[in-house]
Amino acid sequence: MKVLLIAALASVIGVGSVYAEEEPVVIGDVVMPTVESSAAFQKVEKKVGKWEGKMTQGATGKVIDVSYEWRVTSGGKTITETLVEDGVEMLTTYADRNGELVVKHYCALGTQPVFKVSNLSETELAIALDESANDLHAEHESFVTSMKWTSEEPDSDTMMFTATIMLDGQPSENSALLKRVE
């Protein structure tokens, strides 16, 4: 009897969770439009939470502490990533535009590159500089040119993050093994 009661309760809770996700977002009396999320946005959404690890800087070989926190905001239509590398905080936003994921990174290098998806699979999301949305020049600016997250399994609590950076006209790759902590 206890098992049946627990199963029934779990079923009701599960239905309630699905129903809550389908509830429209309302601000005052205005119902926000529903938007179908891209597969890439859904992939980022799986990262929601806090992650920590160690990053190796390609330019110097130095190993630094890093933390990343992904949060859903704007009625479920945007994901923010607050990243802290060696105590320096930066911000990245993820949102769909016309069915495609658009990523904008507010970098400590002083640039704000915009990215688009270059590869998406069950275990990888890669983004690369969107040349049509950027006017960055390696001759006189430093900026991130690509980022990639890979995991051995689709819903793993660990992932490898790599970022390619154009630093003083030279490409460099940083990498970090991240573990979900919340």
**101-142 tens-digit pLDDT:** 999 999 999 999 999 999 999 999 999 999 999 999 998 899
Q: What integer pLDDT is reported at residue 22 of this predicted model? A: 66
Q: What integer pLDDT is reported at residue 84 of this predicted model? A: 98
| Residue 78 predicted with pLDDT over 60 | yes
Q: What integer pLDDT is reported at residue 21 of this predicted model? A: 53
The letter for the amino acid at 115 is F
Burial grade of 159 (CB within 10 A; 0-12, 13-18, 19 or more): buried
Burial grade of 30 (CB within 10 A; 0-12, 13-18, 19 or more): exposed
The pTM of the full predicted model, rounded to 2 decimals, is: 0.84
